[in-house]
Amino acid sequence: MTIQRIIGIDPGIARMGYGIIDVNGNHLRPVAFGCIETPAHTPVGNRLRQIYEELSALVQQHKPDAMAVEELFFNRNTTTAFTVGQARGVAILAGVQAGVSLAEYTPMEVKLAVVGYGRADKAQVQEMVRVLLALAERPKPDDTADALAVAITHAHTAPLHSALSAQGSRTSLGVPAPQRTIARRPASEVGKGPKR
């Protein structure tokens, strides 16, 4: 069986978590994990360059087959969102320039894949990362645990996507899959009770 190496990324400008795992069938093995930290009172451009250079060095050293990056969701602080988005873009660039395939996952997809529950809290995710990777303790800081969780998500999700892509739109019996249709009521009848 082929071993696949995945690097998971938890984007951040002050601290970017990374987690590298090897996947051999159902067996997951941690390879390296930690954070890239940038100094707070440094121009953003310098911080982005540091993230790019350190992440590029990690990719060159460990040669992952895939990079899994968590998608960003910010409700309030747009300044933080833009800066973290820039760091995320730099991380993606480091992987793509090295020829690493890219996958992106929402926080809910990560929680579902790792814990089995889309509203799991951080402690539940960290504990499952510890269990799945047979670590003596939960990875610290949170950014590292999150990055490992993203890598685990890709390990669990990528084979399913590959199988579905290879199968195309056919069922396991080789017949075309039925198309889902949704019955819709005319707009003039929305809000009215059922017809009698």
**Residues noted as catalytic:** 10, 70, 143
Q: Roughly what angle, to the nearest 10 degrees, separates helices 107-114 and 142-167?
A: 80
Q: Which tokens go with 183?
A: 């019955």
Query: In angstroms, rounded to a whole number, what is the distance separating the alpha carbons of residues 105 and 88?
Result: 13
How far apart CA 194 and CA 12 sit, in angstroms, is: 51
Positive/negative CA dihedral, 151, 153, 159, 165: negative
Residue corresponding to tokens 């009770």 = 193
Instruction: Please tell me the distance from the alpha carbon of residue 100 to that of residue 65, in angstroms, as a whole number.
Output: 6
C-alpha–C-alpha distance, residues 164 and 86, integer Å: 33
Whether the CB-CB separation of 153 and 23 falls below 8 Å is answered with: no
